[in-house]
Structure 1
Amino acid sequence: MITNVSIVSVWVRDLDESLAFYTDVLGFEKGDDVQLGPDYRWLTVRHPEQPELNLHLTTPGAPLSSELVEAMRRAQADGGLPGVGLTVDDCHKTCEELRAKGVEFLQEPADRPYGIEALIRDNSGNWLVLVEPKELDPKDLSEADLG
């Protein structure tokens, strides 16, 4: 029986630079850092409030095909890879703190039916969603909101 999600992979350009971004900028802690052979490094970070969930920072490479690696690198260069959603307690304040650290914003904090949401990029171009959640009231949804 599956009991939880424990690892989510995030494709990055450079492991050391991404480790610094996720720890120094976002406040995650370094998890595992193991060199497995000459061409593969297993690197994880985790949030101190949720240590059971690891973000596996990884670069496109073997055993993926060279065509897939190239496609992923193009998507990274275009900022087209999704990242993860991060819960925040105060979206506006968190955004001010991250802006002071040089984080790139794709969307300023905006009210949504489920809370206040902002979009940022990590240093590899991945989209990260910041959400200050609120109780979802179905009355707040209209057909226009559902697309």
Structure 2
Amino acid sequence: MEILSIIETLEEVIEKSISVPFSGKCMVDREEILEIIKEMRLKLPDDIKQAKWVKEERQKILLEAQKEANNIIKDAENKIASLIDEHEITKKAYEQANEIVSNAQKNAREIRLGTKEYADNVLSKVEEILEETLEVIRANRKEMK
């Protein structure tokens, strides 16, 4: 900022001025000091405008950075929620798959047992019929003798 260099010039003029003994005061060139003050007045509005613009830009950048940070956080939270949901869905799918397999195995056992029982009943009936037929055959052979 130009105003700072003007203030430094003013300080140099004061430091180089002739001091008044025992008073802590100094003598300065009135025209030179007034000229520096005039220059300060001219430059001050530009520097204030520039400082205001810098401050506003800083604020805009901070707001944009905050928005971007919030968006990143929101995206991360959504991704985490999605991963959790996927994990839950996968877990439930495995549970359902295990239940389906278990039910299928149970049904297969019941069918096997039912099939064995049915086959045993059919064979028992065939055995009875064969025994009756065998008795008739024996009885017929006895009669023939």
TM-score by length of 2: 0.16
Of Structure 1 and Structure 2, which has the larger fraction of its residues in helix? 2
Query: RCO (CA 8 Å, sep 6+): is it higher in 1 or 2?
Result: 1
Larger-Rg structure: 2
TM-score by length of 1: 0.15
